[in-house]
A = this chain, B = another copy of it.
């Protein structure tokens, strides 16, 4: 499961660059190219946020995989559903970027809602995998799962955060939703799933 998932994460994160490629396509003089490059900030910002978001999900995916002794059919299916959302993320990323640059009359709000709904479906798949792993830890995990209450709280927090972003974009303004998504990405960089302790790792528990 690891090798394939790593590959999917790696390709999905790289597909994000296709959002940048059209910038400056029709700018043939130095001045118009400079303007196009400076005007491409929605592309750069959404590229960076989605890149960090996928990168962090990959780190968390690895952390979860370090707890696994084996996988069953349901775990594989949940993993496919998670990857289905991760691979789709460049799509709402492109929607947000192009709505911020060219859109009017609520296009950015709609795109921001679409981005948040994708993130919510990814979060649900991720939480399902983690909760399923906790429920079946006797069969699937290498050792009793640590810090279960904290983990549940953390997933609930992520779902609540993205839900708040969707509501803020739907009923107020896209900027509020996007700021919430960016804060969630930065927050999760520094706050992570529990990993096997060094002692467990030394005992061959981790990978």
Which of B33, B77, B94, B109 lies in contact with A99, CB distance below 8 A?
B33
Name A86's closest neighbour in chain B (CB-CB).
B14
Name A20's closest neighbour in chain B (CB-CB).
B91
CB atoms of B12 and A12 under 8 A apart: no
Name A55's closest neighbour in chain B (CB-CB).
B80
Interface size class of A (residues with CB under 8 A): 35 or more
CB atoms of A27 and B107 under 8 A apart: yes
Residue numbers in B under 8 Å from A55 (CB-CB)? 80, 83
Q: Considering residues A33, A59, A98, A105, which has the most beta carbons from chain B within 10 angstroms of its beta carbon? A: A33
The main secondary structure of chain A at its interface with chain B is helix
A149 within 8 A of B: no
Give 1 or 0 for each of A140-179: 1 = CB within 8 Å of chain B CB: 0000000000000000000000000000000000000000
Q: Whole-angstrom distance from the CB of A195 to the nearest CB of chain B? A: 10
- Complex Cα gap A110–B84 (Å): 27
Residue numbers in B under 8 Å from A189 (CB-CB)? 73, 77
Q: Whole-angstrom distance from the CB of A29 to the nearest CB of chain B? A: 4
Beyond the given pairs A21-B91, A30-B105, 15 more chain A to chain B contacts, judged by CB atoms under 8 angstroms and listed by A's residue number, are: A4-B9, A4-B62, A7-B9, A8-B14, A10-B10, A17-B90, A20-B91, A23-B91, A24-B98, A25-B98, A31-B105, A33-B110, A47-B88, A51-B84, A73-B190
